A and B are shown apart, each in its own frame.
Chain A
Amino acid sequence: MNLIPYNRVKLARDSQRPTGLDYIRNIFKGFIEFHGDRRYGDDPAIVGGIARLNGNPVTVIAIEKGHTAKERTYRNFGAAHPEGYRKALRLMKQAEKFGRPIVCFVDTSGAYCGIGAEERGQGQAIAENLMEMSTLCVPIISILIGEGGSGGALGLAVADRVWMLQNSVYSVISPEGCASILWKDAAKAEVAAARLKLTSEDAKSLGVIERILSEEDMGKKEFYDNIRTLLVEELGQLSSDLDLIGKRYERFRRIGADAVNKE
């Protein structure tokens, strides 16, 4: 596919793309949603709960953007508040307690930038997820299905395997944000998108993800069946790994190490 990176960004943001709940409903069976962070509230931008994957219980967590205008407003366009990240962590710890693997679907332009989010510790909430996820003793697979916006995406992606849909993007900053900082001109987002190396192919060649998922038949039964098969296979392998946490540490430990001159 020969799309320029900024067109991939547009595709990743398309409101008609399958959202987190579409993946949950089509890949898993019997999803039971659990609400709330037990501290402040329930964030509709992140859904989570338990479901069955090929008969086996798993914890599933997804950032949900919604499709219609009404849904998207309700979901805050997939921009989560601290309570969303705290709900996710609560459910992940629950998964650990009961020995269930965790599957996360990531799709956000970034953690929400707002007054309440800051007052309730957006930075602290994400930081705690990064720290705690690094030593959860159950397998974690995170799949980027649309936008992977910065810390807000990473907060659900400290995983043993990170996969990306072919036209999803993963970036430290939005192309618009980058362009406005570098050139004081958000209209140069197209240039910024190319420079940020945010496509799935870039992420794979940088060693940040393990697998790119084809978007052929996206939204159809075959598409979800394929992802289910891959998840079952991979979780099976990870579940028998006796050094899961050590390998997860090394997975992130080596990223960027080659980019440093150690003379």
Chain B
Amino acid sequence: MALLNFLKPKNQLEEGGRTAALVQQDAGEPEKKCPNCHKEIPLSHLWANRLVCTCGYHFRLKARQRIKMLADKGNFQELYAGMKAENPLNFPGYREKVENVRTASGEEEAVVCGIAKIRGQECCLFVMEPYFMMGSMGSAVGEKITSLFEYATEHRLPVVGYTVSGGARMQEGLLSLMQMAKTSAAVKRHSDDGLLYITVLTDPTTGGVTASFAMEADIILAEPGATVGFAGARVIEQTTKKSLPKGFQKSEFVLEHGFIDYIAARTSQRKLLAELLKIHNGG
């Protein structure tokens, strides 16, 4: 139930993601149970620490909460806000599902794109939305991310991308699959123009997103404990009939195997991203 409350971020504590002044716990203040250390933590304490538990567990964040934490105040200009999925295959139930998710998440699609400044460093920013069909990639997500890379190439801007995804959106069938190729081609053009692309992989980054733009960055960062992989752990267990190694597909495991540059705690990401952007912009 605690997680479901996240779908309605309409109280002041959640709106004001950066209000460090609220660390005093009010009587009767809502608490959240950490799935890692099992302690009940007052929401205000969590928010003061960017929704990271004292034990280090990173709670899931909505895209706009992340943007609020990352971008300089008043320095996020959203792009392609009106782009959203139709039902190209007339997949039964898809339209209704999307409508419900839109109402619950307050988002039109599974990614938010725009131009941001992070500690004064200008970049194109995309942040995927876990509460919109677990960040699944359909035509609209592909179109938005491709458009953002084209914009970044044209305006010679770096791209910072936060990924969270269960993979391609099966209700759009082959069209979803093709977004992997489409976004990859746009990333390649951006890269060939000598421009910087940084991804931050967050929990979970899997399937078609891992197998396309998540893994195509110059610098790949990840949040601690995030699941990062191609196939789902359950599917692998069923296919291979083997028990999975400890920490399998966690960001620490993936780093150890050589596919992630650095694991960055959420509280350090803004400063780190700003520094990386600065270094690649002539220092």
- The answer to whether A259 and B257 have CB atoms under 8 Å apart is no
By a CB distance below 8 angstroms, the chain B residues around A119 are 257
Stretch at the interface among B4-12, B18-26, B60-68, B234-242: B234-242
Stretch at the interface among A19-27, A64-72, A169-177, A212-220: A169-177
By a CB distance below 8 angstroms, the chain A residues around B180 are 130, 151, 154
Taking a contact as CB atoms closer than 8 A, the residue among A127, A134, A196, A260 that contacts B214 in the complex is A127
By a CB distance below 8 angstroms, the chain A residues around B212 are 126-127, 130, 151
Give the distance in Å from the alpha carbon of A57 to the alpha carbon of B5 in the complex: 62
- The answer to whether B215 and A256 have CB atoms under 8 Å apart is no
By a CB distance below 8 angstroms, the chain B residues around A249 are 185, 189
- The answer to whether B143 and A256 have CB atoms under 8 Å apart is yes
Count, chain A residues at interface, CB 8 A: 55
Specify the chain A residue showing the minimal Cβ separation from B259.
A121
The A193-252 residues at the B interface (CB cut-off 8 A) are 195-198, 202-203, 206, 208, 248-249, 252
Specify the chain B residue showing the minimal Cβ separation from A257.
B143
Q: Is the interface of B mostly helix, strand, loop or mixed?
A: helix
Give the distance in Å from the alpha carbon of A263 to the alpha carbon of B61 in the complex: 27
Give the distance in Å from the alpha carbon of A260 to the alpha carbon of B98 in the complex: 13
The minimal Cβ–Cβ distance linking A52 to chain B, given in whole angstroms, is 29
The minimal Cβ–Cβ distance linking B216 to chain A, given in whole angstroms, is 5
- The answer to whether A260 and B140 have CB atoms under 8 Å apart is yes
The A159-206 residues at the B interface (CB cut-off 8 A) are 170-173, 177-178, 181-182, 195-198, 202-203, 206
Per-residue CB contact flags for chain B residues 238-279 toward chain A (1 = under 8 Å, else 0) read 011010110011000000011100000000000000000000
By a CB distance below 8 angstroms, the chain B residues around A170 are 174, 177
Give the distance in Å from the alpha carbon of A196 to the alpha carbon of B168 in the complex: 13
- The answer to whether B182 and A253 have CB atoms under 8 Å apart is yes
B105 within 8 A of A: no
Stretch at the interface among B42-50, B77-85, B115-123: B77-85
A56 within 8 A of B: no
- The answer to whether B178 and A260 have CB atoms under 8 Å apart is no
Give the distance in Å from the alpha carbon of A151 to the alpha carbon of B214 in the complex: 14
Give the distance in Å from the alpha carbon of A249 to the alpha carbon of B146 in the complex: 11
Give the distance in Å from the alpha carbon of A130 to the alpha carbon of B180 in the complex: 8
By a CB distance below 8 angstroms, the chain A residues around B177 are 150-151, 154, 170-172
By a CB distance below 8 angstroms, the chain A residues around B235 are 113, 177
B194 within 8 A of A: no
B15 within 8 A of A: no
B86 within 8 A of A: yes
Give the distance in Å from the alpha carbon of A119 to the alpha carbon of B88 in the complex: 36
B179 within 8 A of A: yes
The B131-188 residues at the A interface (CB cut-off 8 A) are 138-140, 142-143, 146, 168-170, 172-182, 184-188
**Given A151-B230, A172-B170, A173-B170: A118 touches B181 (CB 8 Å cut-off):** no
**Given A118-B248, A172-B170, A202-B174: A113 touches B231 (CB 8 Å cut-off):** yes
A41 within 8 A of B: no
Taking a contact as CB atoms closer than 8 A, the residue among A117, A127, A195, A256 that contacts B182 in the complex is A256
- The answer to whether B248 and A115 have CB atoms under 8 Å apart is yes
- The answer to whether A255 and B182 have CB atoms under 8 Å apart is yes
Give the distance in Å from the alpha carbon of A170 to the alpha carbon of B173 in the complex: 9
B41 within 8 A of A: no
Per-residue CB contact flags for chain A residues 92-118 toward chain B (1 = under 8 Å, else 0) read 000000000000000000010111011
- The answer to whether A126 and B230 have CB atoms under 8 Å apart is yes
A128 within 8 A of B: yes
B139, B169, B185, B230, most chain A CB atoms within 10 A: B230
List 19 extra interface pairs beyond A198-B173, A256-B139, CB under 8 A. Answer: A120-B257, A121-B257, A122-B231, A123-B214, A127-B214, A134-B188, A150-B208, A151-B177, A151-B230, A170-B174, A177-B235, A196-B89, A206-B174, A206-B175, A252-B178, A259-B86, A259-B88, A260-B139, A260-B143
Shortest 6 CB-CB distances between A and B: which pairs?
A: A256-B139, A123-B210, A259-B88, A130-B184, A113-B231, A134-B185
